[in-house]
């Protein structure tokens, strides 16, 4: 997969936790949101002695989304039916995976080692982050998957890159999620573990969102990665 294969570079919000960053987190938002959605969490992900981290929050392209009546909104790919974990828009998924890969590669070009870069995503953005992280051709620091699910199960077994065999994963999900049922999260975790990934699975008493406990757990996990 070539992150520069004709895909336009995504606009992104950037937040740097200190001077001269030595680590980066590329974080993909959910359907209908934008890059500002998770920006307020950055101060809550800090810890004593933390390195300077550049958080990159890209804006997904605007496209019609079939399940929302064809309404134009920011989306990483079209959702054409109620079974959200089915590969309904392969072209859109592949394009977004390539654009996410290009953002990771840009961090490499800015001087951040691949082993100091984490891919993160929420919901639809998390589904893309999983695909991108497992395919990336250099060893990353980790993968964060929040309230999300697995796409392209058969393809990822063939197309995943050996460099990220065993990539550690933080996976958080709301037990009462009405948008992405928690069972889809559990199925994704089983798949990732079956592929050899150590997964820290956390389930929270919430719906399709994040909560303070989840952010605290994520900060502790980031500290171990960095």
* Active site (catalytic) residues: 123, 177, 208
- Helix, strand, coil shares, percent, the chain, to 5: 35, 20, 40
Enumerate the β-bridge partners of residue 161: none
Both tokens of 32, joined, read 């209908």
* Sequence-distant (≥ 6) Cβ neighbours of residue 24 within 8 angstroms: 53, 54, 55, 56, 107, 112, 116, 117, 118
Please tell me the number of Cα atoms within 13 Å of 215 on its side-chain side. 14
- Residue that is written with structure tokens 């100091």 in the block: 116
| C-alpha–C-alpha distance, residues 171 and 194, integer Å | 15
For the four alpha carbons of 56, 119, 169 and 129, in that order, the dihedral sign comes to positive
* Sequence-distant (≥ 6) Cβ neighbours of residue 18 within 8 angstroms: 50, 51, 52, 53
- Residue that is written with structure tokens 């719906």 in the block: 207
Contact call for residues 190 and 182 (beta carbons, < 8 A): no
């Amino acid at each position: 997969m070539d992150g520069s294969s004709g895909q336009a570079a995504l606009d992104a919000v950037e937040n740097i936790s200190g001077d001269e960053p030595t680590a980066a987190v590329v974080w993909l938002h959910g359907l209908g949101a934008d890059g500002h959605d998770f920006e307020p969490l950055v101060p809550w992900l800090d810890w004593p002695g933390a390195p300077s981290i550049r958080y990159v929050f890209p804006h997904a392209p605007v496209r019609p989304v079939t399940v929302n009546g064809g309404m134009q909104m920011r989306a990483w790919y079209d959702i054409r039916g109620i079974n959200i974990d089915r590969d309904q828009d392969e072209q859109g998924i592949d394009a977004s995976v390539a654009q996410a890969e290009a953002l990771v590669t840009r961090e490499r070009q800015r001087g951040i080692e691949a082993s100091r870069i984490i891919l993160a995503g929420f919901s639809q953005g998390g589904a893309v982050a999983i695909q991108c992280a497992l395919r990336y051709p250099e060893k990353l620091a980790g993968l964060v998957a929040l309230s999300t699910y697995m796409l392209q199960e058969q393809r990822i077994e063939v197309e995943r890159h050996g460099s990220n065999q065993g990539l550690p994963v933080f996976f958080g999900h709301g037990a009462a999620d009405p948008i992405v049922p928690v069972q889809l999260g559990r199925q994704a975790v089983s798949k990732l573990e079956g592929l050899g990934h150590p997964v820290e699975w956390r389930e929270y008493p919430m719906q399709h969102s994040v909560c303070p406990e989840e952010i605290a757990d994520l900060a502790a996990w980031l500290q171990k990665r960095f």
